[in-house]
Amino acid sequence: MTQKAFDGALVLLCFFLAVSIAGINISLAVLTVLAIAVASGLPLSIDRLRTPILYALLGYLAVGMISALFGAAPSESVRPLIKDAHKVWAFCLLALVLGARPSPQGFRPLAAGFSLIAVFGIVQAIVNQLRDMDYASRRAHAFVHPVTYGELMCFAVLGSVCFFNREEAGTHGKGMKAVGAAFGALVGLALILNQTRGALAGLAAGAAALMWLDKRARRLAIPAIVALILAVLSWRVVPTRDSETIRMIFKGHVGAVISKQFADRKTFWRVGWKAFLDHPFTGVGPGNYRTVFPRYFTGIIEGQSVWGSAHNLYIHQLAERGALGAFALLALLGALTARAYQRAQRVPNPWNLWAFGAVVSFLVMNVTEVAFQNEQIATVLIFIWCWAEANDETAPADAVRA
């Protein structure tokens, strides 16, 4: 009975990954309790935690604590450090429980959760467009921030490519092919209506990574190009803030477009860089980019005088955690990428391909955003990575494969 509850909690986690951070945390808490309760009945192995990933996560947390102590306002660093601890908790739990008992057909509840927010976001964008709402409201975003939504949809599109018509995942056959195609179209449309450029750039990078390693993905190159053209055309005719941008591109004013799009970003990056130069070793402390922002910029950007994000993870980390924090972050991302690539190159199954594509897209997303600071996005990435590790061919023979 307890193991059925355990499997049910895993299914709920898969569903809530795309839907709600509150649902994710409740599912993780239930899994933690159940994992302790049924530990003797599952092949939980502490060896699964002895990886460079955990060491890098712990190192990142430790550097964050040091940065907080020497930061501009240590009290502002509490919440970011809790988020860092959350990543450690999520990784340890998922590495153990997925390695011991991967959720049966986990892609089904995952697809259900992604489909729910995709449909909600699409309807939301269309209705708000017809009601002539403001730009932010016209973007598909469901229950989360538009940027978070776009990043989730990017992961979903990559997953739809990886799991489409794969016998080992049980998604082959006419019926499942139709379902897979419909799912890909659904999340793709949601991403287009979301209009997050960083997520689209991440998708392009992730898709390129998949096509590099997998022949099946290469066959999707032409449909992907067609989809991109349709996305551009949709922005051309739909009256959004990007309509003027597309018109300028069509008229050949590329330089003006680049200057317009990156004017604010350059300000955020400049503030982060100046904060790093003033605090090169440990930074101003986690969460303190907002605290020191007025020191380096006085003015109004999109109606705000103070911003809490450098809109570039790597510069943001330099500002808040200094060179030590940037090194810890790069060590973590490097370990995730290297292991994901190693798995996908050796065994290009759906799980390994999705993990590699997701990591690559994540690296690119963070050039214009700080997705690593978002608990939901970070947990989804950790889940995808751990799920691939659990389903890798080198996993113990007694692990139940999804």
Q: What are the tens digits of pLDDT across the range 127-137?
A: 888 887 766 67
Average pLDDT score, the chain: 84
- pLDDT of residue 389 exceeding 50, the answer is yes
Q: Which residue has the higher pLDDT, 229 or 20?
A: 20
Q: Tell me, what DSSP letter sits at residue 72?
A: S
List of residues 6+ apart from 236 with CB closer than 8 A: 243, 246, 247, 250
- Model confidence at 263, pLDDT cuts 50, 70, 90, reads confident
Summarised one tens digit per residue, pLDDT across range 57-111 is 999 999 999 999 998 899 889 999 999 999 999 999 999 888 776 554 677 899 9
First to last CA, the chain: 20
- DSSP for 144-208 reads S-HHHHHHHHHHHHHHHHHHTT-GGGT--SHHHHHHHHHHHHHHHHHHHHH--HHHHHHHHHHHH
Whole-number pLDDT of residue 234? 62
Summarised one tens digit per residue, pLDDT across range 346-365 is 999 999 999 999 999 999 99
**Which residue matches tokens 């949809």?**
153
Is residue 287 left, alpha or beta, with left meaning phi > 0 and alpha meaning psi from -120 to 50? left
Residue 304 has phi, psi (to 5 degrees) of -120, 140
- Model confidence at 5, pLDDT cuts 50, 70, 90, reads confident
- pLDDT of residue 395 exceeding 50, the answer is no
CA distance 258 to 203: 20
Over pLDDT 90: what percentage of the chain?
52
List of residues 6+ apart from 14 with CB closer than 8 A: 103, 106, 107, 108, 109, 110, 113
Summarised one tens digit per residue, pLDDT across range 266-318 is 899 999 999 999 999 999 999 999 999 999 998 888 778 888 899 999 999 99
**Is there a contact between 207 and 217 (Cβ–Cβ < 8 Å)?**
yes
